[in-house]
Chain A
Amino acid sequence: DGGITQSPKYLFRKEGQNVTLSCEQNLNHDAMYWYRQDPGQGLRLIYYSQIVNDFQKGDIAEGYSVSREKKESFPLTVTSAQKNPTAFYLCASSIAWEGNQPQHFGDGTRLSIL
């Protein structure tokens, strides 16, 4: 079955530690996205990638970094510079950046501070 796989489902971070969230898709989609969701809130865009080897900052990129070395993979690193990292992180992909294409989401990673 095609889809988006996020791992791990739960992640704990110590003070001063960087952690990396995995996102893999086998949909052959060009575009990928990372969102942050806080309790009772909507989705805020952290980073997006229109195509492999390219990515841009979204609305809340400070304290985060990404890479897009392979079409199917878009890992997100939450750095120690992100002072309030506790949230639900969602990865999404779409067939293309241009035009009116739906985004498909993984089942998220919940990050908490130890």
Chain B
Amino acid sequence: GENVEQHPSTLSVQEGDSAVIKCTYSDSASNYFPWYKQELGKGPQLIIDIRSNVGEKKDQRIAVTLNKTAKHFSLHITETQPEDSAVYFCAANPTDSWGKFQFGAGTQVVVTP
């Protein structure tokens, strides 16, 4: 089955700096990789996703890159702001059961002014 590892578990950045979170996956046939942001006491919110037929996707200050050969994908947040502080989760879809996403353990991002 799919296994997703996420690093780092915590990330502290100065406001205005960039943040990068990396996830590795084990199932080379996985083809969908979403990223979620979870604020305290709320449900995860989809912020960006990428499919295996593209290598990079950008939406304003956030971007995701995918390296299928190395089986890893990364979330990049530029010009961080205090409202970016949250827990971020990556996920991948296993080919033996498409809807059963495997989630990473999460990264707590703290943006300090």
Residues of A within 8 A of B (CB): 4, 6, 31, 33, 40-43, 45, 48, 50, 58, 90, 92, 94, 97-108, 110
Provide 8 A-B residue pairs closer than 8 Å at the C-beta atoms, listed in order of the A residue: A4-B43, A41-B106, A42-B106, A101-B32, A105-B44, A108-B42, A108-B43, A110-B41
B residues in contact with A92, CB < 8 Å: 43
CB contacts (< 8 Å) of A100 on chain B: these are 31-32, 51, 93, 98
Q: When A100-B31, A100-B32 are in contact, do A105 and B100 touch as well, CB less than 8 Å?
A: no
Residues of A within 8 A of B101 (CB): 103
| Chain B residues at the A interface, C-beta cutoff of 8 Å | 31-32, 34, 36, 41-46, 49, 51, 89, 93, 98-101, 103-106
Give the residues in chain A near B51, CB-CB below 8 Å. Answer: 100
Distance between A29 CB and nearest chain B CB, rounded to angstroms? 11
Q: A100-B51, A110-B41 are known contacts; what are 12 more A-B pairs with Cβ within 8 Å?
A: A42-B103, A43-B89, A48-B99, A90-B44, A98-B98, A98-B99, A99-B32, A100-B32, A102-B49, A107-B41, A108-B41, A108-B42
A42 touches B45 (CB 8 A): no
Q: How far is the CB of A90 from chain B (nearest CB, A)?
A: 5
How far does the alpha carbon of A109 sit from the alpha carbon of B75 in the complex, in Å?
A: 28
- Is there an interface contact between A104 and B46, defined as CB atoms closer than 8 Å? yes
User: With A42-B106, A102-B34 as given contacts, are A107 and B99 in contact (CB-CB < 8 Å)?
Assistant: no
